[in-house]
Amino acid sequence: MSNRVVLITGAARGLGAVVARRFHEAGYKVALADIAIEAAQALARELSKDESSACAIKLDVASKADFEAARDALLERWGAIDALINNAGASKVVPAMEITAEQFDQVIDINLRSVLFGCQVFGQHFANRGAGRIVNIASLAGQNGGSATGAHYAAAKGGAITLTKVFARDLAAHGVTVNAISPGPLDLPIVHESVPAEKLEKVIAGIPVGKLGSAAYIADVAVLLASADAYFANGACWDVNGGLYMR
Ligand SMILES: NC(=O)c1ccc[n+]([C@@H]2O[C@H](COP(=O)([O-])OP(=O)(O)OC[C@H]3O[C@@H](n4cnc5c(N)ncnc54)[C@H](O)[C@@H]3O)[C@@H](O)[C@H]2O)c1
């Protein structure tokens, strides 16, 4: 057991749930933070019946106060926090010309304010203790301007990659690293729910490796970047996209 502690946002389902399982398997104590608290609680109890090594925390990533409360609750519970995975994200696809102010703000809140507040609150805490790891889950859309998931989402994810660099530079001297992972389309429920089967076939045919990505592999990359000896990986955007975007 590594005895390290990680908080993962959006851990109730999808990629966040896979990431939570992987960190738990790697010996971490895992805090599953989500607005969907019941699903997060169910997974936490599945991972740790007595909640000694997994717990659920109600957290809306658009709220800085929620990040502060989560930090305090975890410090009280387990005495330390080693890593934050800013994973929560969402989008509602709307043609670029039709995105309203409300839709834009909502998508920016969930995908970009989330990263700002997570990095501010946990970055400061990690800097004060002289060690910490932050991993931001970005997206291929934020790199290539792909609008299949919405222009607001692509813009927010591009912003998340930029914030990764800003915090990576500011916090590096304090023992804190900040990296992004930028997945292409993954074999996850949201992809099958939101893309009609016929369209999905075309998407897959356009991916050089000919398959959707594995969430478990993204989770492995997050575990790698969160490890104590990962100090030299900093400010990077780790592309895992099947060859859809090469640079
Ligand atoms: N699925 C993909 O193919 C793919 C590709 C690239 C990037 N990503 C990114 O991976 C991350 C996870 O995506 P997913 O596919 O698992 O999505 P998902 O919709 O299946 O899960 C998202 C989770 O975030 C939670 N959430 C939503 N709003 C929240 C809020 N305001 N506060 C706290 N939690 C909130 C949801 O309750 C849910 O548990 C996102 O950042 C997404 O942009 C996904």
State the pLDDT at residue 148.
86
Going by the DSSP 8-state scheme, the letter that residue 242 receives in this structure is T
Backbone φ, ψ for residue 186 (5° rounding): -105, 160
Of the candidates 155, 128, 127, 126, which has an alpha carbon nearest to the alpha carbon of residue 143? 155
In a domain, 41, yes or no: yes
Marked catalytic residue, from 153, 217, 231, 245: 153
In a domain, 119, yes or no: yes
Average pLDDT over residues 141-151: 92
Position 51 pLDDT exceeds 80: yes
Residue-wise pLDDT tens digits, 156-199: 999 999 999 999 999 999 999 999 999 999 999 999 998 999 99
Would you say 118 and 3 are in contact if contact means Cβ atoms under 8 Å apart? Answer: no
In a domain, 113, yes or no: yes
Quickly state the pLDDT bin for 124 (edges 50, 70, 90): very high
Phi and psi based region of residue 232 (left: phi greater than 0; alpha: psi -120 to 50; beta: remaining): alpha
In a domain, 190, yes or no: yes
State the pLDDT at residue 2.
66
Domain ranges, residue 217: 5-240
In a domain, 201, yes or no: yes
Judge whether 231 counts as a catalytic residue.
no
Please list the residues that pair with 30 across neighbouring strands: 6, 54
Structure tokens given for 134: 């932050």
Q: Is the CB of 42 under 6 A from ligand 1?
A: no
In a domain, 245, yes or no: no
Helices (H), the chain: 14-25, 37-47, 64-78, 101-108, 114-129, 141-144, 151-171, 189-194, 197-205, 215-226
In a domain, 247, yes or no: no
In a domain, 246, yes or no: no
Would you say 31 and 57 are in contact if contact means Cβ atoms under 8 Å apart? Answer: yes
Centre of ligand 1 from the C-alpha of residue 110, in Å: 9
- For residue 58, what is the domain's CATH number? 3.40.50.720
Which residue lies with its CA nearest to atom 25 of ligand 1?
10
- The three-state secondary structure class of 134 is strand
Domains: count for the chain: 1
Ligand 1 atom index nearest CA of 16: 16
